[in-house]
C-alpha cells in the first residue's frame, strides 16, 4: 500500500488557523489510493461556544458595513476562486476522489451562487408606501439575523458550502461552516481565500467536527439559522432539534431521482444523458439519476441494450487521471454499502445487466466500484425504495406514463425527476402532475442555476426555504416594518384617539 505524509489540520476561526483543543481527531483519506492523508480535529462544545462568541463580534462589525463595501470583498473573492480553480480542484479530487474535470465543474457551479450574491444591493431593497393614511409613510427593511451556520456534506466540498452560505454573508450575517470531516481541506482553503479577499475576522469560520459540534451549534442561543445538506434521517434530526431550539432551519436530504424514457425519445440521447447523470461523480450526488423508467417493453429492451454497451466503455480511475470517467467512492464503508445493496437486489430478483463490482483499477486499496446496472427492479425491492449513494443504478419497467407518474408520486422522496420525450403533451402532463421539487424535460440533471431556487419535496427536504436563489435572502434576513409620520412645527394633536388605527 502506498503511504503519504499525514497532515494534522486545524480549524479556521476569527481569521486564522488554530489547533483543535478537544484531543479528538478524525481520519481523512485519499479515496483514490485508499490511504490516510490527514487528521482533522473534532471540536468540543466548549470550542463551538468560543467560535460563536467570536463570530458574534464579527457580525456586529460586518453588518454595519454598507452593502456596497461588502460587495467589494465579494468581487475579490470571486476573482480568487477563479484564479485558484486548479489548486482547489486538485484538493477536491484528493480528498473526495472525483475527477479533476468534475471538480472544476463543481467550482463553476459554486461561482453561480457568488454571482447571484453580488446582486445583494438590489435583493436587499424593501418596499415603500407613501401616505398610507394620516400622512404616514410605511416601509420595510431586511436585516441580517446574526450568527448562522451551514453543515455541509462530503460530495461537493466547494459548491454546496458556497451555495449554502455566500448569500448569508452578503446580506450581513457571520457564518460558521461545519464541513464534512471527510473533506476538510477544501473548506479551509476557501476560508483563506475569504481572508485574502478582505473579509473581516470572525465573519467566515470553519469548525471541523462530528455530532458533538453539530449539537452545540444547534443548541447555542446565538446561532440564529441552520442550513444542512446530507442524508434524510440526519436532515430530519437536524430540523427537529434546530426548531426545538427556536432556529430557522432548512435541511435537505436524499433523493431517488427518476428518468422516464418515452417511446418517442431518441434512445442514444437518453442513454448518453442517463450515463452522465447516473454515474458522474461516482453517483455520489443527491441529484444523480438513480432509476430509469422506460415506457413499454420495446423501449426498455432498446434502452438497456444500448446502455450496457456504453457502460462497458466507462473507465474508473484516480482523480488526476484525465481519461477516467469517474473516480473512487469516498470511503471503504461507502463501497461496502453499495456492494451490499447490489447483493440484496440480486437476492430479491433483480437482473444484473452490468456488473461493476470488480473493475480494473490503478490502486487495489482505493475505494473503487465500476458502473453497475440492475434491470427488472420492482417497486417492492429495497434498492428501489432506498437511496444508494454509489454507482449502482436500476431500471424499473413500466407500461404507461401514468403508471410512472403514480410510482414516483408514491415514493417518499421528491428531489429530482426528468422525462425524455419529443411529445409536448406528454411533457406537459408530466410536469403538471409529478410531485417532485425539481423537474427536467430532456435535461439529464434538473439542478437549477444559482439564481433559481433549489429544493426537493416530501422527505427530501425539511424546514424553511430553498438553497440557491432569491429564497436565500428571505431565509437569512428578518423584516422590520416602519410606519412614520413627521409633523409640521406648528402641529398639535387636539385630542387623544382611543380607536384602533386605520387608514
Which of the following is catalytic: 177, 214, 286, 396? 286
How far apart are the C-alpha atoms of 277 and 12, rounded to whole Å? 35
Radius of gyration of the chain measured on its C-alpha atoms = 25
Length of the chain: 503
Burial of 383-414, coded b for 16+ CB within 10 Å and e otherwise, reads bbebbbbbbbbbbbbbeebeebbebbeebebb
* In 19-70, beta strands by DSSP E: 25-30, 35-41
State the DSSP code for 287.
T
Q: At what angle do helices 401-410 and 424-433 cross, to 10 degrees?
A: 20
Residues 6+ apart with CB under 8 A from 21: 41, 44, 46, 47
How far apart are the C-alpha atoms of 167 and 283, rounded to whole Å? 28
Ramachandran sector of residue 172 (left: φ over 0; alpha: ψ -120 to 50; beta: rest): left
The three three-digit cell numbers of residue 277, written as one number: 447523470
Coil/strand/helix, residue 114: helix
- H or E element at residue 481: strand 477-484
Strand 223-229 and strand 147-151: the pairing is parallel
Coil/strand/helix, residue 346: helix
State the DSSP code for 166.
H
How far apart are the C-alpha atoms of 45 and 113, rounded to whole Å? 31
347 carries an active-site annotation: no
Q: At what angle do helices 211-219 and 45-62 cross, to 10 degrees?
A: 50
The three three-digit cell numbers of residue 74, written as one number: 465579494
Q: At what angle do helices 67-83 and 184-197 cross, to 10 degrees?
A: 130
CB 246 within 8 A of CB 472: no
Q: Give φ, ψ of 116 to 5 degrees.
A: -65, -40
How far apart are the C-alpha atoms of 29 and 24, rounded to whole Å? 17
Coil/strand/helix, residue 390: coil
- Dmax (CA) of the chain: 91
CB 252 within 8 A of CB 456: yes
Residue numbers annotated as active site: 286
Amino acid at each position: 500500500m502506498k503511504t503519504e505524509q499525514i497532515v494534522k489540520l486545524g480549524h479556521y476561526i476569527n481569521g486564522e488557523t488554530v489547533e483543535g483543543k478537544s484531543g479528538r481527531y478524525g481520519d481523512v483519506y485519499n479515496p483514490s489510493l485508499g490511504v490516510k492523508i490527514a487528521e482533522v480535529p473534532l471540536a468540543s462544545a466548549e470550542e463551538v461556544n468560543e467560535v460563536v462568541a467570536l463570530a458574534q463580534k464579527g457580525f456586529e462589525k460586518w453588518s454595519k458595513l454598507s452593502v456596497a463595501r461588502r460587495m467589494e470583498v465579494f468581487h475579490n473573492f470571486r476573482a480568487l476562486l477563479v484564479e485558484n480553480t486548479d489548486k482547489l480542484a486538485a484538493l477536491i479530487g484528493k480528498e473526495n476522489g472525483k475527477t479533476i474535470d468534475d471538480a472544476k465543474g463543481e467550482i463553476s457551479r459554486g461561482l453561480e451562487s457568488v454571482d447571484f450574491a453580488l446582486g445583494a444591493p438590489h435583493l436587499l431593497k424593501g418596499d415603500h408606501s407613501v401616505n398610507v393614511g394620516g400622512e404616514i409613510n410605511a416601509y420595510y427593511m431586511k436585516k441580517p439575523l446574526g450568527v448562522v451556520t451551514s453543515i455541509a456534506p462530503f460530495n461537493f466540498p466547494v459548491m454546496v458550502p458556497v451555495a449554502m452560505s455566500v448569500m448569508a454573508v452578503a446580506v450581513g450575517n457571520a457564518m460558521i461552516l461545519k464541513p464534512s470531516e471527510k473533506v476538510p481541506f477544501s473548506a479551509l482553503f476557501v476560508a483563506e481565500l475569504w481572508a485574502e479577499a478582505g473579509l473581516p475576522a470572525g465573519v467566515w469560520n470553519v469548525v471541523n467536527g462530528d455530532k458533538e459540534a453539530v449539537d452545540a451549534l444547534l443548541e447555542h442561543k446565538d446561532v440564529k439559522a441552520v442550513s444542512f445538506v446530507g442524508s434524510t434521517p440526519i436532515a430530519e434530526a437536524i430540523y427537529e432539534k434546530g426548531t426545538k431550539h427556536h432556529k430557522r432551519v432548512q435541511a435537505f436530504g436524499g433523493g431517488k431521482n427518476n428518468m422516464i424514457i418515452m417511446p418517442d425519445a431518441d434512445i442514444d440521447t437518453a442513454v448518453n444523458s442517463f450515463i452522465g447523470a447516473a454515474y458522474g461523480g461516482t453517483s455520489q450526488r443527491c441529484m444523480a439519476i438513480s432509476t430509469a423508467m422506460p415506457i413499454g417493453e420495446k423501449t426498455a429492451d432498446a434502452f438497456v441494450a444500448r446502455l450496457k454497451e456504453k457502460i462497458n466503455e466507462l473507465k474508473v480511475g484516480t482523480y488526476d487521471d484525465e481519461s477516467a470517467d469517474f473516480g473512487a467512492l469516498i470511503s471503504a464503508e461507502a463501497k461496502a454499502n453499495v456492494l451490499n445493496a447490489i447483493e440484496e437486489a440480486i437476492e430479491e430478483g433483480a437482473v444484473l445487466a452490468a456488473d461493476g463490482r470488480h473493475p480494473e483499477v490503478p490502486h487495489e486499496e482505493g475505494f473503487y466500484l465500476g458502473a453497475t446496472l440492475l434491470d427488472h427492479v420492482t417497486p417492492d425491492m429495497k434498492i428501489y425504495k432506498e437511496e444508494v449513494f454509489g454507482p449502482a443504478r436500476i431500471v424499473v419497467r413500466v407500461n404507461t406514463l401514468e403508471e410512472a407518474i403514480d410510482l414516483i408520486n408514491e415514493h417518499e422522496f421528491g428531489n429530482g425527476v426528468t422525462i425524455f420525450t419529443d411529445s409536448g403533451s406528454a411533457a406537459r402532463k408530466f410536469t403538471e402532475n409529478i410531485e417532485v421539487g425539481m423537474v427536467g424535460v430532456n435535461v439529464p440533471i434538473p439542478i437549477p442555476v444559482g439564481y433559481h431556487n433549489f429544493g426537493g419535496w416530501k422527505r427530501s427536504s425539511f424546514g424553511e426555504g430553498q438553497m440557491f436563489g432569491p429564497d436565500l435572502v428571505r431565509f437569512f434576513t428578518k423584516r422590520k416594518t416602519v410606519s412614520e409620520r413627521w409633523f409640521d412645527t406648528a402641529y398639535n394633536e387636539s385630542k387623544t384617539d382611543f380607536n384602533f388605527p386605520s387608514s
